[in-house]
Amino acid sequence: MILSKKLETTINKQINAELWSAYLYLSMSAYFESINLGGFANWMRVQAQEEVEHAMKFYHHIIERRGRVILSAINVTPTTWKSPLHAFEEAFKHEQKVTAMIENIAAIAAAEKDYAATSMLKWFHDEQVEEELQTDTIVQKLKMIEKSTGGLYMLDRELGKRKKE
């Protein structure tokens, strides 16, 4: 089944959004490195790798459906945040935005009765539940420890253990 032009265009925009997400998380990683939070930086680098993988899943879906991948410019990302909490709050908001974008693709696929795209998107729905939960959990932990440098140190150590699965 050949991919419709409408879905092809929308998925191409999603590829750009996923790659922008990778840039965002790399920028956050660099921010965390600049304030000596190597564990936080590690967590964000792993997240950036995941976002590239997401982009590639969409990329391959277009190719497998005889569509054309069109890569567009990636917009500039922020480079600094007020605090680790602010960075993770922004990451959580961003994941919510990505979820909405994927739900939009799913709505288009459903309207077009594109069951192949609907099947592919199920993985993304499940992934977004996980992405939102992970970022919000860290937001809640950061709120819990507030200004505790010991708590920040412990969370930094915990986040430093994240590895690419």
Give residue 31's domain range.
5-159
Between the two ends of the chain, the Cα-to-Cα distance in Å is: 32
Alpha-carbon distances of 101 from 49, 52, 72, 159, rounded to whole Å: 20, 16, 17, 27
For residue 42, how many other CB atoms are within 10 A of its CB?
A: 19
Indicate the pTM of the whole model.
Answer: 0.95
Query: Which tens digit of pLDDT belongs to each residue from 120-130?
Result: 999 999 999 99
Q: What's the total number of domains in the chain?
A: 1
Residue 126 in any domain: the answer is yes
Residue 165 in any domain: the answer is no
For 6, the 3-state DSSP assignment is helix
Residue 151 in any domain: the answer is yes
In CATH, what number is assigned to the domain containing residue 72?
A: 1.20.1260.10
Residue 68 in any domain: the answer is yes
Residue 164 in any domain: the answer is no
Residue 142 in any domain: the answer is yes
> E strand or H helix at 156, and its extent?
helix 149-159
pLDDT number for residue 148: 93
- Given a cut of 90, whether residue 146 has pLDDT beyond it is no
Residue 73 in any domain: the answer is yes
Query: Which tens digit of pLDDT belongs to each residue from 32-48?
Result: 999 999 999 999 999 99
Residue 38 in any domain: the answer is yes
